[in-house]
Amino acid sequence: MADIARSFNDLNFLDHLSTGNSFLHRLDPRVKLLTVMGFIFAVVSFPRYEISSLLPFFFFPAVMIPLANIPVRYLMRKYLFLLPFAVLIGIFNPIFDREPFAFIGPLAVSGGMISFLSILIRFTLTILAAFILVAVTGFNGICLALKRFKVPEVFCVQLMMLYRYIFVLSSEAVKMARARELRSFGRKGQGIKPYVSLIGHLLLRTWDRARRVHTAMLSRGFHGKFYMRRPLALKASDVIFCLAWLFLFIVFRLYDIPAVIGEILTGAVA
Amino acid sequence: MHMADALISPAVGGAMWAVSAGLIGYCSKKVKEDLDERKVPLMGVMGAFIFAAQMINFTIPATGSSGHLGGGLILAILLGPYAAFLVISSVLVVQALFFADGGLLALGCNIFNLGFFPAFVAYPLIYKKIVKDSASPGRILTGSLLAAIIGLQLGAFGVVLETLCSGITSLPFTTFVALMQPIHLGIGIVEGLVTAAVVSFVWKANPEILDLKASTAPSPIMHARQVAIVLLVAAAFTGGFVSWFASEHPDGLEWAIEKVTGKEELENAYNIQDALAQLQEKSAFLPDYSLKVSEAAAAQPGQDQDPRLGTSVSGIVGGFFTLCLAVLVGFALKKRSAGSW
Amino acid sequence: MSHHIVELKNLTYVYPDGTTGICDASVRITHGESVAIIGPNGAGKSTLLLHLNGFLWPSSGSVRIGDAPLTKETIRDVRRTVGMVFQDPDDQLFMPTIHDDVAFGPYNLGLPNEEVEERVNSALSRMGIMHLKDKPPYRLSAGEKRRAAIATVLSMMPDILVMDEPSTGLDPFGRRQLIGILKEFTHTKIIATHDLDLVADLCERAIIIHDGRIKADGPTADIFRDEALLHECGLEKPFSMQSCPICSPVPKP
Amino acid sequence: MSHHIVELKNLTYVYPDGTTGICDASVRITHGESVAIIGPNGAGKSTLLLHLNGFLWPSSGSVRIGDAPLTKETIRDVRRTVGMVFQDPDDQLFMPTIHDDVAFGPYNLGLPNEEVEERVNSALSRMGIMHLKDKPPYRLSAGEKRRAAIATVLSMMPDILVMDEPSTGLDPFGRRQLIGILKEFTHTKIIATHDLDLVADLCERAIIIHDGRIKADGPTADIFRDEALLHECGLEKPFSMQSCPICSPVPKP
Ligand SMILES: Nc1ncnc2c1ncn2[C@@H]1O[C@H](COP(=O)(O)OP(=O)(O)OP(=O)(O)O)[C@@H](O)[C@H]1O
Ligand SMILES: Nc1ncnc2c1ncn2[C@@H]1O[C@H](COP(=O)(O)OP(=O)(O)OP(=O)(O)O)[C@@H](O)[C@H]1O
Ligand SMILES: [Mg+2]
Ligand SMILES: [Mg+2]
């Protein structure tokens, strides 16, 4: 039950963040989508034994998170919640790939360890990017951007409605699960029979709701077309934002900046 | 199971994005041709329902663990394949954005694995064939069970192939398959049973619900041949794309930049070599393809232990420095923004 | 203006499972009337209202809105004439923001942008929710949602306003506000409700439905005076017409 | 009987998104009291009630039901003691038939079959819906569902009855019936509602919540006489008192 409420709250909270009014929130959703996709593309394009070149990419979240006013504690909580999955998918690397890859002093580090670490870093960067995108764009912003990128209207519209009704149906689901739990007294009432009936009812209610929503749409003259007043016009700041980041990502991708810095530093010391 | 960004290469991610985007376009066209605009709100609300339903668990008897409704198959049964595929894709989009289930780049793979197989294979070729037009609890049960199991097995195998093609994990093919398929057998059985039970429930309560798609969709079924074609195209696309990319242009991004900047040689020679070696092995589908670095190192004449040692020490120092810098920048901005807003 | 006449003739509706929702109901409502539909639970009030915009089709009998009978051909016009406020405002607010929701109808009517904006603004300000314009519906309270739902209908400038239990879930203040707004609306109003005080305040005519049949139809004041009738139909006088429970704590037997 | 004391001490609950649901509320309700929780929409009434059976856990402060504070260990007993009726009956009815729904609680308590049946029948007949026993909940009208929802809780024979807006959607007769049933129920009752007439009828004590804080707590008659307080909290007198010459000698214009 706790996790039911949690996933709903998470969604709720991210949605709440997206109603903020920072400089980032005001940018055109399209450039934000492009920038984040560029970021992810650059991050995952490294080969698997790469670590140091990935690190400069942390500048992106480091800059975006404070500018967008995203609470770091919330992000950490979410991140830690997801971390076990990343560990699960990466843990096989150190097991299957034991060949020594590098030496730190006398210590041999296996290739698997390196690639495992690399997976964790990729994971961190990519999920942070996704959260940042939603937190500064909002889901409807993303839908609008998709529509502008010529994604079919049917898809965009039902995506928008899906999001709208998540809030209604999730709270219905949470309340029904609550009602079941209150009269269950432990595990007994949580078996498959009440579950099926509960889900069945939720489905029937949903079905009726869809009919009513459709009637409401027809009552307002709906004939297959959705209009939305949302004049999207690229401003200079939008273009600069996007190009500046993409340029940085390319630089980060091409040059192993930590290595360069490291050489300078160690070289200076030696 | 969702594919994750952390495990995927841009070539595989991009190729699967293209395949999924094509399918979304195709299905949108089909739904539009359907001319049943009732479906648009229905699709939206049903997507939200899948979300809501996944929040509710039940106790799986005798195991103590809990399960919930999967979604793909029941959507296909209720909405027909085209609408269902769009709805599943939408659910995955929301999950990728809000719950970081998978990730943005892996979205293409996930849509294909979790959307294509239930909507265009499991439902029309298995469920539909078994249930036909004469629904009965027994048929619904058999159909759902088989369809869910096969759909999930295919999806899991998709995950395996896509992951291995990407070459980030070191897991050998056989081990990976031996791990994924049985787990998904269990999940498939549970999903099949639950789907059957819920479908029977609403079918008894309101048979009209199951009639909707039959009455509106002109020919709701993709034929086996078409399915095979899409699968083949997807496989050829992925495989071909990857191997072409790997052989011609060892590292996509660098290749592109090289083209743009006209730069002949790139510094990160060992990256390229490494990637080349990996990708060639991968695209050959060798059972034990896990790349041994010593081999890779052997393939790199200019590289011996010492420079690598140097690289790693300075790399660690530089990396640490970079991270500190990033954190500092973050804190500075945080201070400033706390002050100014 | 025969345009805004609502006429039901021998309307019968049987649900697919065989339950009779409404049976042989005949009603004629003329322009500008404010009519309450009252009756016990399960009487058939909602069922009746759902016929007015073609959500349900009569099993027998006919529905006439304005000049034409309600048929598949006329239904688009009828839906423009009849503004229906649903019991659950969530069914009616399906767009990303309140603005988009209120603009949805006028846009579909094909109005030019400026006029759409004008209508949106006027509907929002009449409902006193101008400040919620850019909020998503799921961030509103129950009362705000209800008002937004009414605004979506007002922006269509309907000639007939149909509401199913508009005051449920509202706090006393929100309910007062709603009554004030409805009083201002001078076109035909048809309201199904259990809130008899609202009926006494707002509607000059009341129709009692009981067991799917029309039991009474007349001036509200007369109906509320007929205690025998009310009792028979599971109703009672509005509280404002009853005696004070604190001053005279013994209720009438 | 200290068993059925309900005590909240400095209860604060902040929703995960940062909204304060309830703030620093302290209340003590003793056995057999009948207490109304009133306040405008979004005041925090439902939030407060959800703490009484451990559905929400206080962000700070404590909840005590009977002898023991509410903890993970005592929660099973507490849930058996506290019966809760939800705001929306649809949320509470999830079994294939009304009978199954009403039997769900007693059955899970591990009672023998005959006793379960007995309890089901008694609860159904008290709510006057014996005839709906085998109907599935989605085929009922709004008021019928409400009755069924209350029956599901009555069949558990709770010592403390907690209800969130129990009278919405009920017809006047059903509402009277409900009041009658609640009057018969001699244990502790806690009722959150907008139906102030029901409060005047049923509860000798009323607690006003406004913006998550307790604004007033005292005898219902006193609270309803304090017009300034009511106005400040978006409330108004019960309708039956509005025209009462004794309670409000000068009726509002
Ligand atoms: N979907 C349905 N299928 C079968 N019977 C139904 C359905 N909906 C309503 N009914 C039945 O039709 C009758 C009329 O229901 P309706 O909802 O119109 O009542 P109502 O007057 O609106 O009641 P309430 O005041 O409780 O809302 C009731 O007996 C109800 O049980
Ligand atoms: N799940 C939630 N997440 C965040 N905030 C919530 C949630 N549920 C309620 N709230 C907020 O908490 C406050 C109190 O809500 P609550 O539901 O307790 O009000 P209420 O007094 O029951 O109102 P009503 O009379 O409309 O039922 C409101 O401001 C509401 O918006
Ligand atoms: Mg009704
Ligand atoms: Mg409430």
**Token output for B185:** 């057998």
Residues of B in contact with C16 (CB under 8 A): 208
Dihedral sign computed on CA atoms, order D66, D67, D73, D77: negative
B5-289+310-333: what fold? Arp2/3 complex 21 kDa subunit ARPC3 (1.10.1760)
Nearest CA to ligand 1 atom 12: C21
Q: List, for residues A207-260, the tens digit of each pLDDT value.
A: 989 988 888 888 888 877 777 666 677 888 889 999 999 999 998 888 888 888
Q: Does C239 touch chain A (CB under 8 A)?
A: no
- Complex prediction ipTM: 0.85
CA distance D146 to D87: 9
By C-alpha distance, the chain A residue nearest C150 is A216
B201 touches chain D (CB under 8 A): yes
Min mean pLDDT across A130-134, B173-177, B225-229, D145-149 is at B225-229
Encode pLDDT of B297-322 as tens digits: 444 444 344 444 445 566 677 778 78
Span B4-20, average pLDDT: 85
Q: In this structure, are residues A216 and C91 in contact, taking their beta carbons and an 8 Å threshold?
A: yes
User: Given pLDDT bands bounded at 50, 70 and 90, which one contains residue B64?
Assistant: low
Q: Is pLDDT at B295 greater than 60 in this prediction?
A: no
Q: What is the mean pLDDT of the segment spanning B197-220?
A: 70
Any idea which of B130-139, B256-265, C92-101, D137-146 has the lowest mean pLDDT?
B256-265
- Which residues does ligand 2 sit against, CB inside 6 Å? C 142; D 15, 17, 19, 21, 39, 41-47
Q: Of all atoms in ligand 1, which is nearest to the CA of residue C45?
A: 21
Look at residue B103 in the predicted model and tell me its pLDDT.
82
**Would you say residue C29 has pLDDT above 90?**
yes
Q: Which residues of chain D have pLDDT under 50?
A: 1-2, 249-253
Q: Chain A residue with minimal CA distance to B35?
A: A224
Chain D interface includes B58 (CB < 8 A): no
Mean pLDDT score, B87-112: 88
Q: Which residues of A touch D (CB under 8 A)?
A: 6, 9, 12-13, 16, 172, 175-176, 178-180, 182-186, 188-189, 194, 197-198, 200-201, 204-205, 208
Torsion sign over Cα B112, B118, B123, B126? positive
Contacts of B144 (CB under 8 A, 6+ apart): B73, B77, B127, B192, B193, B195, B196, B199
Mean pLDDT of C224-236: 88
Nearest CA, atom 9, ligand 2: D21
pLDDT for D3: 65
Touching subunits for chain B (3+ Cβ pairs under 8 A): A, C, D
Q: For chain D, which residues make up each domain, given as ranges?
A: 2-94+157-241
Residue position matching structure tokens 């409330």: D235
Mutation choice for D interface testing from A9, A69, A170, A182 by most D CBs within 10 A: A182
Strand partners, C192: C37, C164
The pLDDT of residue B296? 40
**Mean of pLDDT over chain C:** 87
CA of C15 to the centre of ligand 1 (A): 9
pLDDT of amino acid C138? 86
When mean pLDDT is compared across A166-180, B61-75, C108-122, C146-160, the lowest value belongs to: B61-75
Q: What is the C-alpha to C-alpha distance for residues B327 and A58, in angstroms, rounded to an integer?
A: 8
CA distance B122 to B144: 9
User: How far is residue D116's CA from residue D122's CA, in Å, rounded to a whole number?
Assistant: 10
Q: Write out the DSSP string of C131-149.
A: GGTTS-GGGS-HHHHHHHH
**Could you read off the pLDDT tens digit of each residue along chain A, which spans 270 residues?**
446 667 777 788 888 888 888 888 888 899 999 999 999 889 888 887 888 888 899 999 999 999 888 888 888 888 888 888 778 777 777 777 777 766 666 667 777 888 888 888 988 998 899 889 999 998 888 988 888 888 888 898 889 999 999 988 988 888 888 888 888 876 677 788 888 999 999 999 999 899 888 888 888 888 777 776 666 778 888 899 999 999 999 988 888 888 888 878 777 554
pLDDT value for D153: 92
pLDDT at C1: 45
Contact A151, A35 (CB under 8 A): no
Please state, as a whole number, how many other Cβ atoms lie within 10 Å of the Cβ of residue B146. Answer: 17
What pLDDT is attached to residue A229? 65
CA nearest ligand 2 atom 2, residue: D15
Q: Which of D17, D90, D156 sits opposite A13 (nearest CB)?
A: D17
Confidence check: pLDDT of B152 > 60: yes
Q: Which CATH class is domain D2-94+157-241?
A: alpha beta
Chain D partners within 8 Å of A6 (Cβ):
16
Is B41's CB within 8 Å of C16's CB?
no
- Per-residue pLDDT at C231 exceeds 80: yes
Q: Residue B272's pLDDT band (boundaries 50, 70, 90)?
A: very low
Q: What is the pLDDT of residue B92?
A: 92
Distance from Cα C219 to the centre of ligand 4, integer Å: 35
Q: Closest-lying ligand to the alpha carbon of D211?
A: 2
Q: Please write the tens of the pLDDT for every residue from D79-129.
A: 888 889 988 888 889 898 999 999 998 988 888 999 999 999 999 998 888
Q: How far is B201 from chain D (nearest CA, A)?
A: 9
Q: Nearest residue on chain B to C15, judged by CA atoms?
A: B206
CB neighbours (10 Å) of residue A163? 28
Which ligand lies nearest to the CA atom of residue D207 in the structure?
2
- Across C124-222, the runs of DSSP E, i.e. the strands, are 160-164, 188-192, 205-210, 213-219
The pLDDT of residue A177 is 86
Whose C-alpha lies nearest to ligand 1, atom 6?
D139
Q: For the segment C75-100, what is each residue's pLDDT rounded down to a tens digit?
A: 888 888 888 898 888 999 998 889 99
